[in-house]
């Protein structure tokens, strides 16, 4: 296939356009790689957030149980002063 000869000023423009397209393609490849890295980091961050959330939830539950054990166990004695009736008292389950 014969190559068409262009005017020199047009050839310069075509060469510049091809150079820009090549740079754009390389930039898009780099961006795709960075996106993959970012996706991996986000996935790791999500796992970390889930672990921390689970730990905080466990901490809240533990603190609630501690409060119930230390304070609520005797709180029912104060109910008559506030005209409250005791529905039940939670008994801690011993851990073996």
Residue-wise pLDDT tens digits, 6-59: 888 899 999 999 999 999 999 999 999 999 999 999 999 999 999 988 888 777
Higher-confidence residue: 61 or 45? Answer: 45
Pair 68, 88: CB distance under 8 Å: no
Average pLDDT of 60-80? Answer: 73
Q: What average pLDDT does this structure show over 64-93?
A: 69
30 phi, psi to nearest 5 deg: -65, -40
Q: Which of 58, 39, 35 is nearest to 47 (CA)?
A: 39
- The structure tokens 């796992």 sit at 47
* Confidence (pLDDT) at 69: 76
- pLDDT range class, residue 77, cuts 50, 70, 90: confident
Q: Where are the domains of the chain?
A: 9-82
Is the CB of residue 86 less than 8 Å from the CB of residue 79?
yes
């Amino acid at each position: 296939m014969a190559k068409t000869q262009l005017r020199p000023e047009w050839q310069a423009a075509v060469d510049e356009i091809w150079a820009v397209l090549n740079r754009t393609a390389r930039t898009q490849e780099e961006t795709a790689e960075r996106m993959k890295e970012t996706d991996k980091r986000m996935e790791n961050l999500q796992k970390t957030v889930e672990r921390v959330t689970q730990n905080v939830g466990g901490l809240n539950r533990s603190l609630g149980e501690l409060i119930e054990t230390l304070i609520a166990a005797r709180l029912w004695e104060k109910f008559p002063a506030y005209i409250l009736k005791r529905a039940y008292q939670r008994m801690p389950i011993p851990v073996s």
